[in-house]
Amino acid sequence: MSDQNYSKRGYLHESHHVFYLKEPPQGPVAVHYHDFHKIMLLLDGEMRYSIEGTEYALMPGDVVLVSAGEIHCPVYTQMSVYERVIIYVSQDLAESERLADGYAGLMNCFPQSGDALRAHVLRPSGERKSKIAQISAELAYLSGQESDYADFCRRLKVLELLAVLGRITEDPDLPEEKAEGEETSDPVTGQILSYISDHIREESLCIDNIAEHFGMSRSGLMHMFRRNMGCTVGGYISEKRLFLAKTAIAAGMPVTEACYACGFGSYGAFYHAYRRRYGQPPGAKRAPLPGVPVE
């Protein structure tokens, strides 16, 4: 991978979008992120999935949860057919679907920094496994239907799926059903990623401070991070801050306030980085773009 920032893939102009895929991989998929949440339901085949420096070995029945802004990619282990349902979920789904306050928590199944109950990969068992398999089959069938009735049914099934996943991730009386991931690099890189996530909004977060915290030299940190993550430490931090700022601005936060709230120490640097990254000034409305790349 080059030293460039990770790319954003896909645009979502509705509360959710459902894909059903049953095909061999079309080639390697570059590491990327989305402006929306993503669920993948693996129906058949075995593959690996990399999310924020951790790689998971998937099995049929597994549920992959990727939060907006998280860097990820599928890692295909063979060229056989993989069957899966992929669901893009808007960050403001609760508002888009006019859900009552008591149902807004459906979005809590997606991983959040520092929350040990959340998992990127769930491996349901028992009745919940059967229920998710049933929903997956119905979504696979409905994904190719074009009618108001099919759209209504898809919406109901997506909300039902979120409710089931929420039960798994939130109820302390239920056994944890999480698939363990493997560090795609050495464990220190995973610790560095967690440290960056915890301090991303602090202006003081920089390469020198990270190196000092982990007892490493600046050059050693940069070399290790670039080897294991495919980009520089500075590029990773900038990408994360720009995404946070973009999300905050879209939610109504003033541009200048978003700049400093997301860790930028200079508005000028933020403005130029944002325009270079997204091709427009902060706060500008992007025209709808055609197509929704999958994966």
Q: Read off the tokens for 221.
A: 């940190």
Please tell me the distance from the alpha carbon of residue 71 to that of residue 240, in angstroms, as a whole number.
9
Token pair recorded at residue 209: 């401070």
Residues of the chain with pLDDT > 90: what percent? 41
Rg of the chain over Cα atoms, rounded to whole angstroms, equals 19
Question: Could you tell me the two tokens for 108?
Answer: 């809590």
> Distance between CA 281 and CA 295 in Å, rounded?
28
Query: Mean of the pLDDT values across residues 95-108?
Result: 67
Tell me which residue of 215, 209, 186 sits closest to 196, measured CA to CA: 209
Lowest mean pLDDT among 1-10, 79-88, 162-171: 1-10
Within 13 A of 15's CA, how many CA atoms are on the CB side? 16
What pLDDT score does 208 carry?
95
Paired with 17 in beta bridges are 88
Edge-to-edge strand order for the sheet containing 182-183? 7-8, 32-33, 72-75, 47-51, 54-58, 182-183
pLDDT band for position 100 (cuts 50, 70, 90): low
> Closest Cα partner for 84 from 10, 18, 20?
20
CA 291, CA 190: separation in Å to the nearest integer? 34
Q: Are 87 and 39 in contact (CB under 8 A)?
A: yes
Q: How many CA atoms lie within 13 A of 78 on its CB side?
A: 9
Per mean pLDDT, which range of 94-103, 140-149, 262-271, 283-292 is the poorest?
283-292
**Predicted structure pTM score:** 0.77
Is residue 283 within 8 A of residue 254, CB to CB? The reply is no
Query: How far is residue 158's CA from residue 136's CA, in Å, rounded to a whole number?
Result: 10
d(C-alpha 236, C-alpha 193), whole Å: 9
Least confident of 23-27, 109-113, 257-261, 272-276: 109-113
Question: pLDDT class for 38, splitting at 50, 70, 90?
Answer: very high
Checking if the pLDDT of 293 tops 70, the result is no
Name the one residue in this structure whose structure tokens are 């400093």: 260
Q: pLDDT: is 35 or 40 the higher one?
A: 40
Say how far apart CA 72 and CA 74 lie, in whole Å. 7
- Per-residue pLDDT tens over the stretch 130-183: 999 999 999 999 998 889 999 999 999 999 999 899 888 877 666 667 777 665
Tell me: pLDDT of 3 over 70. Answer: no
Confidence at 284, pLDDT banded by 50, 70, 90: confident
pLDDT recorded at residue 290 = 38
- pLDDT surpasses 70 at 185: no
Mean pLDDT of the 258-265 span: 95
Q: Cα–Cα distances in Å, from 164 out to 3, 51, 78, 112, 210? A: 40, 22, 31, 18, 39
* CA dist., res. 206 & res. 160, Å (int): 42
CA 239 to chain centre: 14
Q: How confident is the model at residue 282 (pLDDT cuts 50, 70, 90)?
A: very high
